[in-house]
Amino acid sequence: MRERFQLILKFLVLVFAIGFLVYIWKALPIISGYAAKVACSGIFLSGRPQERVLRDDLASFPVNLASCTVDMQDSSVTATVLGLASRKAVYRWRLGATLVNGMTAEALREQHMVRPMAPVVDADTVDWPMGDRMHPFAIGGLRLPAVSAIAEGRTVSLRMEDSAGGLGGLDEAKLQAAIGSAFGEGGAAATGTRAVVVVWHGQLVAERYAPGFTPHTRLAGWSMAKGIMNALTGILVGQRRLNTGVSAPVPEWAGDGRRVITIADLLHMNSGLRWWEFYGGPSDVTNMLFKETNMSEFAGRAGLSHPPGLVFNYSSGTANILSGIIRRTVGDDYYYRLPYEQLFYKAGMYSAVLEPDAGGTFVGSSYCYATARDWARFGLLYLHDGVWAGQRILPEGWVKWTTTGGGYGALWWLNKDESVHRRRPQLPKDCYSCEGYEGQYIWVIPSMDLVVVRMAMEHGPVLDPDVFVPAVMKALR
């Protein structure tokens, strides 16, 4: 009996050891792939010093196990883990960084993707929000002076002054304290905040940046890119090229139960497709982002786990399926121009870059970089019902449809679900948000005519929106 027990124990230990080794073997290329991609974007797209990127952006376990080699001439980053699982990401001008998957780096560079040139605009000579020039302005009869120079590590804010020169409507001390708390001041924990931008009544009333970051630094939005996918879908709905109520045009689904999945189901993440959104190791989402050539095709191979339209399951895969649908719908020539000509440049988001995968499809789930101000402009576009400077970018009714629902709308998070505990009980019911990995946020609060952006790299303590956003709101009452 004892010998049998020992034999079973040895067998279990062996099985565990083999399983652990298989898990590690599968995890290594994800770790090195993440390191190569994030470092390549941070160095070549954001233009940050490589020592800062490698030290700060790859600081958390297990990514800190990766070793990176930066080739400035080749505009690439190669990463390994203990000398194993070598992965390479290359930067292409005006396209951003892409992991080399399923092809050589040379073949990747030979791909023909023509992104339109950005208009030549001196943002400092164009008024906010289309540009960065801030003029004195008035709210409710109160006069506000313009924003001056932005300094690292210091909150720069506008003051609302009445005719007697006193403060009115905006409490500058409270606002600076609220923003300072996001940077670990006033006894608050340091949460890796890199930028905060506050836009009230259409005006940029305060912003602050961590050392090493400026208003011109492109920052990763991660899952805030899903909001971009919502906008591009809406634009094509307005052009009558897509219809949210019809079956999603995915050829591989035509012969099975997936054929009834609608575009609306994909936008609301209740497609019924089997998906595991887990970031701590090998999973559907990490395999997709760091191993696959064409992420849209990978996500589209998922089978059904629920009938479409019934069960919410957060899935980065569905955002990339939508990106692939958009590509097939409009063709490659228009596809690579679409986000820039029809969204970014119209809304003054000149810094924004939507990065493609190795197959040439925009990674609509995760890979969009823009300055904090441009992320704020994106929030303003939704706050203003898809209208920018008198021009309608999103079709009439699109924002209302996007933000209809309880806890989740159409690729935007909502806060008005009364059937369960609200996600953010201290935030207004009409608040909706784009949210991304490691602490990226755009909060839109129509009842206060307010947009708040916070960009970060959270490796430890995290920012509590139920504390931070209300503190900002109290300063604006």
Where in the sequence is the domain holding 303, given as residue range(s)? 219-474
Provide φ and ψ at 304, rounded to 5°: -80, 140
Q: Which of 68, 86, 109 lies at the terminal end of a domain, its last residue?
A: 109
In a domain, 25, yes or no: yes
pLDDT of residue 311: 97
pLDDT, average across residues 330-356: 97
pLDDT top residue among 153 and 364 = 364
Identify whether residues 103 and 223 lie together within a single domain: no
Q: Determine, yes or no, domain membership for 316.
A: yes
Return the pLDDT at 307.
97
Q: What is the pLDDT of residue 136?
A: 60
The 10s digit of each residue's pLDDT in 418-448 is 666 788 999 999 999 999 999 999 999 999 9
Residue 139 has pLDDT above 90, yes or no: no
Q: Quick one: average pLDDT of 142-147?
A: 41
Evaluated on CA atoms 82, 87, 92, 96, the torsion sign reads negative
Give the CATH number of the domain where residue 385 resides: 3.40.710.10
| High-pLDDT (> 90) share of the chain, % | 82
Confidence of residue 165 (pLDDT cuts 50, 70, 90): very low
Tell me the DSSP string of 347-416. Answer: TT-TT-EE-B-TTS-B-TTT-EEE-HHHHHHHHHHHHTTTEETTEE-SPTTHHHHHT-SSSB-SSSB---
Specify the pLDDT at position 24: 62
Last residue of a domain, one of 109, 144, 159: 109
Instruction: Give the pLDDT mean for 357-376.
Output: 98
Domain match, 229 and 351 both = yes
Rounded mean pLDDT, 135-152: 44
Same domain, 231 and 102: no
Structure tokens at 405: 């629902």
pLDDT single digits (tens) 38-78: 999 999 999 999 999 999 999 999 999 999 999 999 999 99
pLDDT at 64: 96
Q: Which of 91, 109, 127 is the last residue of a domain?
A: 109
Task: Please enumerate in sequence order all residues whose Cβ is within 8 A of that of 320, keeping only pairs 6 or more positions apart, or say none.
Answer: 288, 295, 296, 298, 299, 361, 363, 364, 365
In this structure, are 99 and 234 located in the same domain?
A: no
**In a shared domain, residues 96 and 225:** no
Residues 390 and 255 in one domain: yes
Same domain, 104 and 223: no
What are the b/e assignments for 235-267, b being 16+ CB within 10 Å? bbbbeeebebeebbebeebeeeebebbbbbbbb
397-426 pLDDT, tens per residue? 999 999 999 899 999 999 987 666 788 999
Residues 105 and 231 in one domain: no
Residues 95 and 225 placed together within one structural domain of the fold? no
Kindly state whether residue 209 falls inside one of the protein's structural domains.
Answer: no
Residue 202 falls inside a structural domain: no
Contact 322, 262 (CB under 8 A): no
Q: Which residue has the higher pLDDT, 320 or 20?
A: 320
Helical packing angle, 316-330 and 284-291, nearest 10°:
50
Domain count along the chain: 2
- Give the model's pLDDT for residue 20: 43
Q: pLDDT, tens digit, for every residue of 208-228?
A: 999 999 999 999 999 999 999
Distance of alpha carbon 298 from alpha carbon 357, whole angstroms: 12
pLDDT digits (tens, 9 = 90+) for 107-123: 999 999 988 888 888 89
pLDDT digits 0-9 by tens, 174-209:
999 999 999 999 999 999 999 999 999 999 999 999
Q: Decide if 442 is inside a domain.
A: yes
Mean per-residue pLDDT of the chain: 90
Residue 160 pLDDT greater than 90, yes or no = no
Determine, yes or no, domain membership for 205: no
Nearest alpha carbon to residue 373 among 175, 123, 154: 123
148 located within any domain: no
Q: Is 204 within the bounds of a domain?
A: no
From first CA to last CA, the distance across the chain in angstroms is: 76
**Angle of helix 225-238 versus helix 316-330 axis, rounded to 10:** 40
The tokens of 278 are what? Answer: 């887990």
How high is the pLDDT of residue 477?
78
* Separation between Cα atoms, residue 36 and residue 30, nearest integer Å: 10
**Better pLDDT: 421 or 82:** 82
How confident is the model at residue 416, as a pLDDT?
84
Q: For residues 381 and 11, give the distance between their C-alpha atoms in angstroms, rounded to a whole number.
A: 60
